[in-house]
Structure 1
Amino acid sequence: MTDDVGNRKRALRRELRSRRRTMTESEVEKATESLTDHLVELVSGLDITSMSAYLSAEFEPNTRPFLNWAHERGIRILFPITRADGLLDWAVSTDMESETEGLFGLPEPVGEVLSPMAINDVDLIVVPAAQISRSGMRMGWGKGYFDKTLGSMEKCPPVYAVVFDSEYVDEVPTERHDQPVDGVVTPSGIHRFTS
């Protein structure tokens, strides 16, 4: 059963990557503008002082304008730093322009590196995703970093994923280790889930 689910996930991820690569520049710009507005609305409504978020890669929904907005308002942002052992360290970037390439070619900030425990102090977690189901299940990109992190937290703050509208779907293939999210932000709005 797990092999079947794993195979379905791998095929779906390939399809989603392909779809993201075929988006036009105009579609990406419009999505970025709407996503930024909704992320600002989410954070403003929660009145947070710190959060964990990620630097979006080339074909991911663009979180960078939102991150710049948060940084300018003095919100402390922890960014994930991938480790070979499957855990995430965290870095606080004081310079939103400086970044490096981490494991798997993903962008990571340049800054002081903190331990995996640092995430326990944030008020909100913003995660990437491949798809989110209408019940709040998250399908990631297959490395398991965020599932492991979220599954190990004693007291987890609200977790919101960011995806394009077409990636917010009725259901996603799910395995035992997959972690749900509290909400999803898409270009069309903020969608919250009740547990």
Structure 2
Amino acid sequence: MSDAIADAKRALRADLRERRQTLSPQARQAASTGVRAQLDALVDRLGARSVSCFLSTPTEPDTRAFIDAAVARGIRVLLPITREDGLLDWAVASQEADVTEGLFGMPEPVGELLSPIAINDVDLMIIPAAAVDVHGMRLGWGRGYFDKTIGSIEGCPDVYAVVFDSEILDEVPSDVHDQPVDGVVTPTRTIDLASARR
């Protein structure tokens, strides 16, 4: 990655992180309700019976209500667990599962570990992002776990990133290893960007 791209990514991430930290509790609650409704509708529209999702941090758009509701509906939900080698293991979400702090301080499930290839069985991937641009390029948080995962799946399922409405940008800095997404979910809308990946 060139120094200019790396610097642009770092600066944009810092700005986005700061914006997220200034959201009011009321705005966060409204976003949580909206994200759950949008994700529920996306799963229904795609007919997904097995999905991967992430356990949101306090500053991310909340995915936990969606995960709990999906599990209650009988949808199989895989949650990521970070590994030292840059790959992701997975655990099946359950309503009574404990949560611990992962390698980078992110919330991760406690449970039976499934290997990185478990992701091959999902119908839909729901992933975190710092921002997504109108062409489907995703800016992650810099560790490359999801770019590596998406890039390694044969017959990759639909991939949707979850961000706040203000985090859909005209363009994000990207490099050759960065993977685009099929769509983006915000608290108020779901945008299909499948042409970006085809």
TM-score, length-scaled by structure 2: 0.96
In the other structure, the counterpart of 1:135 is 135
In the other structure, the counterpart of 1:38 is 38
Please provide the CA RMSD for this pair.
Answer: 1.0
Instruction: Give structure 1 regions of 4+ aligned residues with deviation exceeding 3 angstroms.
Output: none
> In 2, are the aligned partners of 1:93 and 1:110 still within 8 Å (CA)?
no
TM-superposed CA distance for 1:96, in Å, is 4.5
In the other structure, the counterpart of 2:190 is 190
User: Partner letter of residue 177 of structure 1?
Assistant: H
- Alignment of 1:48 onto 2:41: no
> In 1, are the aligned partners of 2:71 and 2:95 still within 8 Å (CA)?
no
In the other structure, the counterpart of 2:176 is 176
TM-score, length-scaled by structure 1: 0.97
In the other structure, the counterpart of 1:104 is 104
In the other structure, the counterpart of 2:162 is 162
TM-superposed CA distance for 1:97, in Å, is 4.5
Structure 2 unaligned regions, length at least 5: none
Aligned-residue sequence identity (percent) comes to 57
User: Partner letter of residue 137 of structure 1?
Assistant: M
In the other structure, the counterpart of 2:84 is 84
Q: How far apart in 2 are the matches of 1:163 and 1:43?
A: 17
> In 2, are the aligned partners of 1:159 and 1:183 still within 8 Å (CA)?
yes
Structure 1 unaligned regions, length at least 5: none
> In 2, are the aligned partners of 1:96 and 1:109 still within 8 Å (CA)?
no
Distance 1:95 1:68, change over 3 A: closer
> In 2, are the aligned partners of 1:100 and 1:107 still within 8 Å (CA)?
yes
TM-superposed CA distance for 1:28, in Å, is 0.7
TM-superposed CA distance for 1:52, in Å, is 0.6
Q: How far apart in 2 are the matches of 1:107 and 1:15?
A: 22
